Amino acid sequence: MSAQAVLSAVRARHHYVRYNVLALILLVTAVNLGDRANLSIAGAPLAKELGLGSVQMGYVFSAFAWSYVIGQLPGGWLLDRFSSIKVYAAALFMWSFFTFLQGYVDLLSTATAVAALFALRFLVGLVEAPIYPANNYIVAAWFPLQERGLATSIFSSAQYVAVVLFVPLMGTLSHVLSWHWVFWFMGGFGMLLAVYWLAAMRAPDRHPRVSAGELAYLRENGAMIDIEANKRTGKVGAAPAGSLVVLLKSRMMAGVYLGQYCITALQYFFITWFPIYLVKGRGMDLLHVGFVATLPAICGFTGSILGGAISDRVLKRGGTVTMARKIPFVSGMLLASLLVLCNFSDSTAVIVALMSLALFGKGLAQVGLAVVVDTSPPEIVGLATGLFGVAGNIAGIITPIAIGYLLALTHSFIGAMYFVGAHAMVGALAYIFIVGKLERLELPPALRAAATGGAA
């Protein structure tokens, strides 16, 4: 690289528009995760008021994941064809509206209330489906390869930001006012945020504050800067028939999908049953749960940022993409498996410490979305991310229900800890033995031509 090019790169790094974009993505994704977790905070008083058992709560918890899985591929198709920013805004407003309505389910009879709660959670999951594929699209456009691991880890850390920002607030609202306010606050805030998103977010080539230097830096260092522009000009159409087969036939992607299934099982334990575990399994009150849960979340956030930083540092020092992505994932999932040790302690401090270590490890492993951008054909990033979401969020269906049945059968969380810990171990083994070398897949020439309007 010439001295002038180096100087241009240094100057470009002092323009932080892409980090402002990332901050907004992080906030919206934290609201997204907060709306997934709000039922776990309101769940104990809501279940008591409506007379719901653990199996019924397991099914209600899983309602989100059923529709989230169903919506992944259609959501990816929408994003491959239409503006990610507009799809995102519509989804944010709609899921927030459905969240707001959950605060009124107790106005119905018990049976109808349960059905309405399941239906509303189902609708929330359906309209949230495009969000992570959209995040991938926006980060791919705004961040070069050597910054993408950290950028992806930052927005992936939203699940921990949600716990730090929103769980104590939701716990306080539920304790001081009522469980209804959990849904009313989160829904109202999300609808207002959707309006701001639509006003503030732009693609790199259309952002009013992006400099020519930053734009050149992005383009020269692997940012997929034209990914949205190509959709506006008709250079990219819907993913052609047969694209899905390319992804499904890849052993590499099979290992990536299995790893995502396993890490999502951990995620759904923490956003569904974990607060109830602390209340019913460890005897804490709901107000303290909201604050106790923040320590593991802070550790998860720290691990997530560190995992992305390690990944990018390996690349900057000449390491391969395979090394950069596998090192944090495998080490993180092995650490997360240590949560099974909770079964051997009665100390609240030890339990919180082990959960903090497990979430730190899970955070380290949160590089899967960067792997998707690294490996998927550029023409079908949305579809590839959607399939990745399907693979992961099947765990969102199975995990809450399985834990609900384990509790009903054993009246203990011991089996649940083994169930979740085993997923962490299997995820690590998938990346070690199945994934192999990470490399970009390519569509066959005929499919590529169909995806790009005839230009093979």
Q: 145: closest CA among 306, 384, 321, 7?
A: 321
Residue 369 located in a structural domain: yes
Residue 229 located in a structural domain: no
How many alpha carbons lie under 13 Å from residue 40 in its C-beta half-sphere?
30
Residue 376 tokens read as 């998927």
Q: Cβ contacts of residue 37 below 8 Å, gap of 6+?
A: 162, 163, 166, 167, 170, 271, 272
pLDDT of residue 286: 54
CATH number of the structural domain spanning residue 410: 1.20.1250.20
Residue 448 located in a structural domain: no
pLDDT of residue 405: 86
Residue 287 tokens read as 């107000």
365 with 233: CB under 8 angstroms?
no
How many alpha carbons lie under 13 Å from residue 38 in its C-beta half-sphere?
35
Residue ranges making up the domain that contains 373: 14-219+235-442
CA gap 429, 222 in Å, rounded:
31
pLDDT digit string (tens) for 225-249?
Answer: 666 666 665 555 555 667 778 888 8
Letter for the amino acid at 198? L
Residue 117 located in a structural domain: yes
CA gap 218, 175 in Å, rounded:
47
> How far are the Cα atoms of 42, 185, 348 from residue 180, in angstroms, in the given order?
8, 9, 29
pLDDT of residue 186: 85
Concatenated DSSP letters for 107-153? GS-HHHHHHHHHHHHHHHHHHHTTHHHHHHHHHHHHS-HHHHHHHHH
440 with 377: CB under 8 angstroms?
yes
Tens-digit pLDDT string for the chain (456 aa) = 454 554 455 444 546 788 888 888 888 888 887 777 777 777 667 777 777 666 766 777 777 778 877 887 777 777 767 777 888 889 999 989 998 998 887 777 767 777 788 888 888 888 887 887 788 778 878 788 778 777 877 877 777 777 777 777 777 777 778 778 888 988 898 999 999 998 888 877 777 787 777 777 777 776 676 666 666 655 555 556 677 788 888 899 999 999 999 999 998 887 777 777 777 767 666 556 656 667 777 888 888 889 888 988 898 888 898 999 999 999 999 999 999 998 898 887 888 889 889 989 998 998 887 888 788 887 777 778 778 888 888 887 888 888 888 888 888 888 888 999 999 999 999 999 999 899 888 777 766 655 555 544
Residue 186 located in a structural domain: yes
* pTM over the 0.85 mark: no
pLDDT of residue 285: 62
Tokens 């692997």 correspond to what residue? 222
Concatenated DSSP letters for 181-222? HHHHHHHHHHHHHHHHHHHH---GGG-TT--HHHHHHHHHTT
Domain count for the chain: 1
Angle ∠(220,379,221) on CA atoms, nearest 5: 10
Residue 94 located in a structural domain: yes
Residue 450 located in a structural domain: no
260 with 388: CB under 8 angstroms?
yes
Residue 285 located in a structural domain: yes
DSSP state letter for 239: P
pLDDT of residue 5: 53
